[in-house]
Structure 1
């Protein structure tokens, strides 16, 4: 590893009689990699967030609540004093789809709910059982989080490629220094080490 001195702002573009072509190439590689990293990350994050938010908005429009009834008693004991404890169990429910066909499926209900208890079930346009769609605020949050993760993931690709390229340039530069020092030592009459 080469010796690194104190950091100087924009040192890569300053005039220096010791700067070689490899140093200038590295400066443009660094600039290009950072620009590509930021651009790729922002575009991927923005596109992914938009896609997720559109999908969740489509779910809010297409998914419909229907009234169903438990077909069997739910497992467990009901909460004391009829209070809702927040615990939910899976129970079998039946409902009639918009086309009049009968459907059954597993829904989350309070423990010990009696057979015939009315429950709200959410279905997609094909009549399949789905979860309740998320609200607009939660959809924006979820889209932002997924977009941020996707943007970071995509931005890692040019960043990692740039690090590999800079490592190769660094090794080539150090090897060139060795050649130059050997040539300098030969001019001074010293034997090469």
Structure 2
């Protein structure tokens, strides 16, 4: 069975070779550093981002709680032809746990009359807030945010590696131009 030289070709920049230039070694280190940062940094960034987002969603679930509020004005039924969610912003009044009465605007279902009871969410300071994300949705969203962060880091690192390699290629082309300027005139004469 013939032996393939693929591992040798793959690692040619690392072998001791009389044709190897300093730029080849630098490029090999750039490629190695790029892949290492993408693999390790991307994993760490993704995990840290997902964990932080999951903690934030869990904190929202503990801080926010539902309160019964009274609708202050009528909310007309939606006549939209697109048929999206039938919710509109409306003024509501609610009582905080400390007994103070507050008013604010929040999204409520359409078609309700003034005085109707609706459920709103408030944060720890008694301000209106969005409903907290459920644990299953939070897990999915945390995973999505972690993956996005890892891919963003990978894109930045690959971009930086590509720019560094492009600069090396420009230097190589300049060196080849200088060398050709020295050797080219000797090849230009006719031998007939």
Same fold, TM-score > 0.5, yes or no: yes
1:190 corresponds to 2:191: no
Alpha-carbon shift at residue 126 of structure 1 (Å): 0.4
138-147 vs 108-117, which moves further? 108-117
Alpha-carbon shift at residue 125 of structure 1 (Å): 0.7
153-162 vs 96-105, which moves further? 153-162
1:18 corresponds to 2:15: no
110-119 vs 132-141, which moves further? 110-119
Root mean square deviation, CA, Å: 2.5
Corresponding residue for residue 148 of structure 2: 149
Deviations 1:63-93 (A, max 9, x none): 0111111122222379xxxxxx952222221
Superposed counterparts of 1:14-163, under 5 Å: 16-76=17-77, 86-163=85-162
Please list every run of 5 or more consecutive structure 2 residues that lacks an aligned counterpart in the other structure.
1-8
Deviations 1:149-179 (A, max 9, x none): 2222233333222111111111222222333
**TM-score, length of structure 2 as denominator length:** 0.79
**Size of the alignment, in residue pairs?**
177
Alpha-carbon shift at residue 182 of structure 1 (Å): 4.3
Q: Tell me if structure 1 keeps the 8 A contact 2:61–2:132.
A: yes
Give distance in 1, aligned partners of 2:184 and 2:41: 47
- For residues 73 and 165 of structure 1, do their structure 2 counterparts lie closer, same or farther at Cα, with a shift above 3 Å needed? same
Corresponding residue for residue 4 of structure 2: none
**TM-score, length of structure 1 as denominator length:** 0.79
102-111 vs 54-63, which moves further? 102-111
Give distance in 2, aligned partners of 1:45 and 1:86: 33
After the TM superposition, which parts of structure 1 deviate over 6 Å for at least 4 consecutive aligned residues? none
Q: Secondary structure at the match of 2:138?
A: helix
Alpha-carbon shift at residue 101 of structure 1 (Å): 0.6
Q: Tell me if structure 2 keeps the 8 A contact 1:75–1:91.
A: no
Corresponding residue for residue 5 of structure 1: none
